A and B are shown apart, each in its own frame.
Chain A
Amino acid sequence: DIQMTQSPSTLSASVGDRVTITCRASQNINNWLAWYQQKPGKAPNVLIYKASTLESGVPSRFSGSGSGTEFTLTISSLQPDDFATYYCQQYESSSVTFGGGTKVEI
């Protein structure tokens, strides 16, 4: 399996901050990467796919970049609704795998 490593595991931030989360793949996944947001007690919700394509309806303060083995999710100005846990997922291989998650807290 391709291993996905996210950092940091927890991030403390304030409303208005610029936030960056990193996801590293154990091998080249080209740009086959998605980012999800999950709030407590809810199912995950896709934010970005193909590393940098914003899902319809997702605010433009979210952006994704990277290719190969290193990727980032950036929130340009953190809003109260953005406090949640974020996961990356590779889908380059037939056995898709998720990162361990990054909790963004106040």
Chain B
Amino acid sequence: EVQLVQSGAEVKKPGESLKISCKGSGYNFTTYWIGWVRQMPGKGLELMGIIYPSDSDARYSPSFQGHFTISVDKSISTAYLQWSYLRSSDTAIYYCARQSCSGGSCYSDYFHHWGQGTPVTVSS
């Protein structure tokens, strides 16, 4: 069974750093793109970026450039989303999601499997 298990809820202050994780299991972790999707309170879904675990090729959505980093440690089948300095506007639920098709050229696809979400609250 394919599973994506995310790290737990976080409460941080503005300016602090944060790294959240997403561990994949039940499939070949290296050959499926994984994306990070933001959902701000009461709002819709926004793709932040995606990463291909096999070679750590990361692609960021144009509207999200520069504020965070997506990475992966394929030795432990885990993807990460990190910020070096948080803002209150980063308060949201963050989902990792695996695309449906396999392979490095398959970076534009729908999301077939989702993690349970990591709520992040940034408040002074």
Contact = CB atoms under 8 A, between A and B. Distances in A.
Contacts, number: 56
Secondary structure type dominating chain A contacts: loop
A44 B108 contact: no
Interface in B17-63: 35, 44-47, 59, 61-63
Interface string B88-124: 0000000101001000000111111011110000000
Interface residues of B, number: 22
A32 B100 CA distance: 13
Contacts of B46: 98
Contacts of B111: 34, 36, 44, 46, 89
Contact of A44 (B61, B62, B107, B114): B114
A98 B95 CA distance: 14
A51 to B, nearest CB: 11
Interface in A50-106: 87, 89, 91-101
A96 B108 CA distance: 7
A95 B44 contact: no
Contact of A96 (B47, B63, B114, B116): B47
Nearest to A101: B44
B57 to A, nearest CB: 12
Interface of A: 1, 32, 34, 36, 38, 43-46, 49, 87, 89, 91-101
